[in-house]
Structure 1
Amino acid sequence: MIKIVPFQACYQAMFRSLNEEWIKNYFEMEESDYKALDNPQEYILDNGGHIFIALLENIPVGSCALIKINSNNYDYELAKMAVSPKAQGKQIGFLLGKTALDKAKELGAKKIYLESNTKLKPAIGLYRKLGFKEITGYSSPYQRCDIQMEYIL
């Protein structure tokens, strides 16, 4: 059984390792990655964001963050989405994304932003399935990002 739960400190090591695993598999860790993954409480939660953890049979296997951003155009960024390779193919990414978008709506958000890389075809497909549309014109602090998308609530 899959459950999506709010982040707790006991999930910090898993949050970091899951995200670090996929990032290092395709790219390199960047300064912004270390900030968010080493200090999720300070960097994400204390700034009005939320982190969701996917539990499969009560074992953490996925994560997704909703990061509050200071922008005239967007309320939150969907970020740090990761699912353990052992748990992929079970709709966990979709459930995490849906939970984050539902939370954003509950908080009164109007637009959600995300950055990714077109090399990550399953992730891009997931974002489209969730309802994100590709946009242009925004610069990213991440070297690996070559696509930006938005979701209008």
Structure 2
Amino acid sequence: MSDIRVRPALLSDDPALARLERATWSTLHAVRPPLEEHEDFFSERFGPDVYLVAEAEGRIAGFVGVVPSTPLASNAHVRRLQGLAVDTWARGRGVGLELVVAAVEAARRQGARRVTLRVLGHNTPARRLYEAAGFTVEGVLPGEFLLDGAYVDDVFMGRAV
């Protein structure tokens, strides 16, 4: 897919991103319940300013958040990827990789020296995507989450920017 464009999210993207979040929600990647039908995508904690949106074929294909790892000044050089999602129709076309590469570049522009993320151990497609973007496993919390009756590892990954 050569027409992928990644841009900053806009407040007006909220309905489309909420629909995408609900449509792609799965225990393969999510540890919290899905958004309710009436819930907004953006929140006080994570507004449009922290998200990047991928567009392809004239519509939103995915999103990713780039947030400070913690509110501590001593940790201000680290950003964390938050909430990557790619719509079903756009999967396997490079949208996820474009989003991750753009997120790392956004972190660099924000002055970050490192980017981290958390991914569920059973989410093999996401782990391969992050590895393709230069992330490596830096730690594992075995059985951290109970999802659909199974204990799932929480995998920490990171890379320099």
User: What interval of TM-score do these two structures reach, taking the shorter chain for normalisation?
Assistant: 0.7 to 0.9
1:99 corresponds, among 94, 98, 102, to 102
Matched, 1:62 2:59: no
Contact 1:30 1:142 in 2 (8 A): no
Matched, 1:90 2:98: no
Higher strand share: 2
Matched, 1:134 2:142: no
2:21 corresponds, among 11, 19, 22, to 19
**Fraction of identical pairs, as percent:** 20
The equivalences for 1:38-77 within 5 A come to 38=40, 40=42, 42-45=44-47, 50-70=50-70, 71=72, 72-73=74-75, 75-77=78-80
Unaligned runs of 5+ in 2: 147-151
2:84 corresponds, among 81, 86, 99, to 81
Distance in 2 separating the partners of 1:23 and 1:147: 19
1:27: how far off?
6.4
Distance 1:27 1:11, change over 3 A: same
Task: Report the aligned-residue RMSD.
Answer: 2.8
Distance in 2 separating the partners of 1:25 and 1:137: 18
Contact 1:4 1:53 in 2 (8 A): yes
The one-letter code matched in structure 1 to 2:22 is E
1:69: how far off?
2.6
In the other structure, the counterpart of 1:113 is 116
Aligned residue pair count: 147
Higher helix share: 1
Deviations, residues 27-75 of structure 1 (Å, cap 9, x unaligned): 66527x76xx8452521248xx621111112201100100123254562
1:136: how far off?
1.7
Q: Which has the larger radius of gyration?
A: 2
Distance 1:151 1:145, change over 3 A: same
